[in-house]
């Protein structure tokens, strides 16, 4: 794929309409004539991302400032078909962005600083990898988050059940004692025995009625809350806007509109059925509560009769009845806990499979990066060396930990770093879910109390995000300086460019757009490395370069040189063509060589002195 032409309507470059070669294209001109502006319009129109933090906004602002209320149109071709991509300042997305891969665009500032940022170095290497389909990985992570959210909800419910059932053993012991006391009193009055028998007969159905009422009430509460959320979500469904009359065609979305209305109607029908179910649930709840009240009233009448016959006996019977009901309810919660635990086990198994898929894809990505680094070392070594450091970028991981621990009362800044050094995100998330305070306390060298608070904090929603938190690889880039390698962080600006540019130019299949790559470079590197690299890749893929260095168009044998000028209010192409076109030769000589006289004087200097220099050497 290559850029066949660029046309600008409106703004600083209004009237710019230029064809490009599929090989090497060079933009030349004095400073302020629009070379960088053309490059930023290419980036903006084709949606090419910036490579360094902060440069994205700067590039967009530059393009919008140049474009104003105008429009830029680029014609792309792959040799078989060609299509136009247009964009204005009002367009939030790139037109037909799924039909092409955007070019690699590097501004002067990006070339200077790309090697200093971990994410930028990683993107530099990832640019050599085939484009990944974003949907499957994104869907897997989304499913993991959904499963984790459900697991966390069930864990919170189990915690609540454990808290409520903690008194069950004590209640069972108290009930046994009260029943023993009641049995002793039944020998006093046979008449009371009859009432007690009636009360005992009422107690099981009363307990069952209460369990049924509470169970139905829980179902009603959760179902009603969910149904309200579904109803609200459906009410917010986006409408298909009317087909614009200016589109020039019949409504291309008519069939989809009809299907959308049909689908929406089915959803509404389903919601109506769900509302009917909710209403029937409420009726069943009312019936269950009414039945429970009836049993309670009958039990109260029997206790009153017992009270009349034996002072104090009804108090014991009331306690027995109340505690029996409480024991029944708590026993049902124990059964519910067993069900919830089984559900958690099932969800965890599903999540583990998805995590394994993510991990396998992640490891494969690292291996691919290592292959790219190895090949680049072969191509660029020994001067340049790249090393992949697996799972080394922990900034996002530490940020996720800080977000989860904020408000926990723990001094989490130092603790988050220690966790990141000790565990992967998934490992600490699993330990927190399991409340494995012993392992956490031992590994992190903290008290059991701090470990428990850490688990509580990481069992929240923010902690659940750890299951999909990515710890990225880092790329170490070094330049041979004498006999030793020097890391890119310790290189001068010129040395950094010396390292980064050869890596960029190893992209032999994609369009590359460079803005003044020769800045901070000596001419020997420009000729020996930069020009050769550009010439090598330009035989296979399009290269567009804005430059002030004559060696790039001349020694690179540029197929198209575009000479830009400015009249103070507008930038325009004065001339364009190959390097043997007289107007282009004149532009290169005047602008890049300092004029014919300066060029002639340098030629005379070299002619006189080079032979002597060769003799002396």
The half-sphere exposure of 159 on its side-chain side, counting CA atoms within 13 A, is 12
Q: What CA–CA distance (Å, rounded) separates 504 from 537? A: 10
Tokens of 92: 């939030």
Using pLDDT thresholds of 50, 70 and 90, give the confidence band for residue 178: confident
Written out in words, the top-level CATH class of the domain with range 141-241+252-355 is mainly alpha
pLDDT digits (tens, 9 = 90+) for 9-18: 999 999 999 9
Residue that the structure tokens 């830029």 belong to: 72
- CATH 3.40.50.300 positions along the chain are 2-127+490-579
Q: pLDDT category, 598, cuts 50, 70, 90?
A: low
Question: What CATH number has the domain spanning 2-127+490-579?
Answer: 3.40.50.300
What average pLDDT does range 53-80 have in this prediction?
Answer: 90
Is a pLDDT exceeding 70 seen at residue 159? yes
pLDDT of amino acid 477: 93
pLDDT tens per residue, range 194-226? 777 888 888 888 888 888 888 988 889 999 999
pLDDT of residue 611: 62
406: nearest Cα among 475, 467, 454: 454
Is the per-residue pLDDT at 186 higher than 60? no
Least confident of 364-373, 377-386, 504-513, 584-593: 584-593
Q: How do 104-106 and 82-88 pair as beta strands?
A: unpaired
Q: How far apart are the first and last CA of the chain?
A: 49
- Residue 430's nearest CA partner among 182, 96, 22, 155 is 155
Measuring CA to CA, which residue among 70, 103, 294 is closest to residue 202?
294
pLDDT of 610 strictly over 90 = no
The token pair at 53 is 């933090």
What residue spans in the chain does CATH classification 1.10.287 cover?
141-241+252-355
Per-residue model confidence (pLDDT) at position 530: 86
Q: What's the DSSP call for residue 567?
A: -
Q: Can you say how many angstroms the Cα of residue 81 is from the centroid of all Cα atoms in its chain?
A: 34
Compute the average pLDDT of residues 437-464: 91
CA dihedral over 186, 190, 192, 195, signed as positive or negative: positive
Q: Give the span between the Cα atoms of 299 and 195, in whole angstroms.
A: 10
pLDDT in the model for residue 52: 79
Each residue of 274-284: pLDDT tens digit? 999 989 989 99
Residues 6+ apart with CB under 8 A from 82: 4, 75, 76
Q: Is the pLDDT of residue 38 over 80?
A: yes
pLDDT surpassing 50 at residue 99: yes
Mean pLDDT across 321-348: 90
pLDDT at 455: 92
- Kindly state the average pLDDT of the residues 528-535: 85
Q: Confirm whether pTM is higher than 0.85.
A: no
What average pLDDT does this structure show over 57-65? 91
Cα–Cα distance measured from residue 391 to residue 585, given in angstroms and rounded to the nearest whole number: 52
Determine the pLDDT at residue 617: 46
Residues forming a β-bridge with 575: 563
- Is 152 within 8 Å of 340 (Cβ atoms)? no
pLDDT digits (tens, 9 = 90+) for 234-250: 888 888 888 888 888 88
Specify the pLDDT at position 344.
92
The predicted pLDDT at position 137 comes to 67
Residue 175 has a pLDDT of: 85
pLDDT-derived band of residue 55, with 50, 70 and 90 as boundaries?
A: confident
Q: At residue 616, does pLDDT exceed 80?
A: no
Tens of pLDDT, residues 554-596: 888 899 999 999 998 999 999 999 999 999 998 888 887 766 6
pLDDT surpasses 50 at 80 = yes
pLDDT surpasses 50 at 37:
yes
State both tokens at 62.
């530059």
pLDDT at position 312: 58
> In sequence order, which residues have a C-beta less than 8 Å from that of residue 469 and are 6 or more positions away?
396, 397, 400, 425
> How many Å apart are CA 148 and CA 430, to the nearest integer?
10
Average pLDDT, integer, range 372-386? 92
Helix (H) / strand (E) element for 500: namely: helix 493-505
Confidence at residue 614, expressed as pLDDT on a 0 to 100 scale: 45
Query: Position of tokens 């103070």?
Result: 568
Rounded to an integer, what distance in angstroms lies between the CA atom of residue 458 and that of residue 437?
A: 12
pLDDT in tens, 386-400: 999 999 999 999 999
Task: Check: CB of residue 470 under 8 Å from CB of residue 463.
Answer: no
Tell me the pLDDT of the chain averaged across its residues: 87
Structure-token pair, residue 374: 């190895």
Residue 433 is predicted with a pLDDT of 92
Distance CA 144, CA 353 (A): 10
Mean pLDDT for the stretch of residues 325-350:
91
Is the Cβ–Cβ distance between 544 and 560 less than 8 Å? no
Q: What's the confidence (pLDDT) of residue 307?
A: 72
Mean pLDDT of 80-105: 88
């Amino acid at each position: 794929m290559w850029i066949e032409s660029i046309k600008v309507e409106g703004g600083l470059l209004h009237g710019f309409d230029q064809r490009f070669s599929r090989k090497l294209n060079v933009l030349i001109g004095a400073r302020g004539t629009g070379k960088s502006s053309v490059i930023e319009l290419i980036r903006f129109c084709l949606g090419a991302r910036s490579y360094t933090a902060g440069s994205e906004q700067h590039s967009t602002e530059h393009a919008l400032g140049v474009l104003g209320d105008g429009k830029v149109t680029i014609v792309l071709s792959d040799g078989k078909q060609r299509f136009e991509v247009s964009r204005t300042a009002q367009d939030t997305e790139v037109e037909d962005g799924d039909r092409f891969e955007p070019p690699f665009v590097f501004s002067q500032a990006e070339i200077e600083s790309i090697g200093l940022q971990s994410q930028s170095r990683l993107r530099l290497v990832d640019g050599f990898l085939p484009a990944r389909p974003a949907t499957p990985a994104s869907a897997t992570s989304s499913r993991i988050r959904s499963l984790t959210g459900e697991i966390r909800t069930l864990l919170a419910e189990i915690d609540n059940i454990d808290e409520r059932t903690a008194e069950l053993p004590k209640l069972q012991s108290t009930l046994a004692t009260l029943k023993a006391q009641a049995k002793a009193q039944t020998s006093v009055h046979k008449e009371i025995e009859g009432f007690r028998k009636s009360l005992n007969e009422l107690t099981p159905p009363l307990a069952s009625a209460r369990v049924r009422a509470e169970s139905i009430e829980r179902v009603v509460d959760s179902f009603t809350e969910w149904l309200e959320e579904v109803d609200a979500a459906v009410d917010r469904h986006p409408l298909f806007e009317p087909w614009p009359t200016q589109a020039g065609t019949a409504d291309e979305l008519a069939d989809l509109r009809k299907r959308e209305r049909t689908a929406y109607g089915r959803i509404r029908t389903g919601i109506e059925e769900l509302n009917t179910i909710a209403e029937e649930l409420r009726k069943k709840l009312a019936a269950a509560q009414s039945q429970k009240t009836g049993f309670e009233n009958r039990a109260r009448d029997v206790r009153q009769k017992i009270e009349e016959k034996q002072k104090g006996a009804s108090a014991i019977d009331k306690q027995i009845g109340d505690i029996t009901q409480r024991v029944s309810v708590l026993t049902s919660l124990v059964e519910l806990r067993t069900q919830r635990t089984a559900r958690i086990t099932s969800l965890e198994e599903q999540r583990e499979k998805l995590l394994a898929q993510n991990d396998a894809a992640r490891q494969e990505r690292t291996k691919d990066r290592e292959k790219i680094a190895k090949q680049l070392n072969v191509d660029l070594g020994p001067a340049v060396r790249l090393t992949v450091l697996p799972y080394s970028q922990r900034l996002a991981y530490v940020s996720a930990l800080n977000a989860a621990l904020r408000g926990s009362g723990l001094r989490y800044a130092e603790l988050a770093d220690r966790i990141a050094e000790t565990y992967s995100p998934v490992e600490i998330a699993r330990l927190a879910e399991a409340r494995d305070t012993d392992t956490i306390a031992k590994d992190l060298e903290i008290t059991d109390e701090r470990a428990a608070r850490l688990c509580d904090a990481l069992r929240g929603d923010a902690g659940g995000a750890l299951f999909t938190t990515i710890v990225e690889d880092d790329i170490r880039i070094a330049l041979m300086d004498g006999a030793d390698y020097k890391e890119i962080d310790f290189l001068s600006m010129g040395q950094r460019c010396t390292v980064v540019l050869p890596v960029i130019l190893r992209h032999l299949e994609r369009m590359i757009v460079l803005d003044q790559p020769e800045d901070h470079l000596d001419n020997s590197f420009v000729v020996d490395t930069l020009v050769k690299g550009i010439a090598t890749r330009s035989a296979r893929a399009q290269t567009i370069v804005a430059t002030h260095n004559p060696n790039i168009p001349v020694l690179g044998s540029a197929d198209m040189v575009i000479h830009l000028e400015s009249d103070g209010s507008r930038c325009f192409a004065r001339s364009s063509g190959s390097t043997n076109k007289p107007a282009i030769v004149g532009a290169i000589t005047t602008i890049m060589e300092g004029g014919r006289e300066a060029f002639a004087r340098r030629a005379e200097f070299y002619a006189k002195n080079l032979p002597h220099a060769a003799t002396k050497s």
